[in-house]
Amino acid sequence: MRYTGPKMKLCRREGYNLFGTEKYNLENNHRRVKRGGKLSEYGVQLRKKQAAKRQYALSEKQFRKYYQQATKVVDMTTADAMLRSLELRLDTVVLRSNIARTIMQARQCVNHAHFLVNGKKVNIPSYQVRVGDVITVKEKLKESPLYKTLVEEFAEFSKKNSDATVTNAKWLSVDPKKLTITVTALPENGDFDKMIDAQRIVEFYSK
């Protein structure tokens, strides 16, 4: 079952901001983060697995499925194969493009069919995108307050950072005016979130 309680509680449990926005910074939270004793290696593996699962906002069953699928990949490590599949989820791509601020917002927008993939409606967050896919916000939604504000924010960012792109994901190309995402490559090891220790997650599941 996917966790639906307070997200800040999860951040406090893992000891860092799982969702990226200022709202979830532990510095803004006045409750003291409890520190337990030194964890065993199994305990460390469990915490790394829980943190990553929560960053992608998946249930245990869903998250384990990505590990199981990754074990069948022969041309890359299980850890990298697992993270690549997680990054290629449509909701993750929307998040990495900065069209959504959190994974929760990205999933909600996908569920509500805000996006087209290669011109076709896709409302499945787990949909796996491919190199060459073009994801666009539906034309009629671009005039909504949500996306009009986003275009304005992107324009302001571009004005202040003329040499920068609106996304840090090197494998994505984002048109900030048209709100279009193009998958230009597959994410590689260096593109994955440094806070996610995929090798320890693999070790946890392989026991």
Domain ranges of the chain: 7-86+196-205, 89-183
pLDDT-derived band at 53, boundaries 50, 70, 90: very high
Q: Do domains 7-86+196-205 and 89-183 have the same CATH topology?
A: no
Measured CA to CA in angstroms, residue 148 lies from 142, 154, 180 at distances of 6, 10, 14
pLDDT of residue 27: 61
- Judged by average pLDDT, the poorest of 48-52, 162-166, 195-199 is 162-166
The yes-or-no verdict on residue 20 having pLDDT over 70 is: no
The yes-or-no verdict on residue 67 having pLDDT over 60 is: yes
Q: Is the pTM of this model over 0.75?
A: yes
pLDDT of residue 111: 98
**55 within 8 A of 102, measured Cβ to Cβ:** no
pLDDT-derived band at 162, boundaries 50, 70, 90: confident
Burial class (CB in 10 A: 0-12, 13-18, 19+), 5: exposed
The yes-or-no verdict on residue 23 having pLDDT over 80 is: no
pLDDT of residue 38: 85
pLDDT of residue 207: 84
For range 5-32, the mean pLDDT? 58
Beta-carbon count within 10 A of 152 CB: 10
Q: Which CATH number fits domain 7-86+196-205: 3.40.50.300, 3.40.50.970, 1.10.1050.10, 1.10.12.10?
A: 1.10.1050.10
CA-closest candidate to residue 101, choices 11, 20, 172, 176: 20
pLDDT of residue 77: 96
CATH code of the domain made up of 89-183? 3.10.290.10
Angle of CA points 144, 108, 71, to nearest 5° = 140
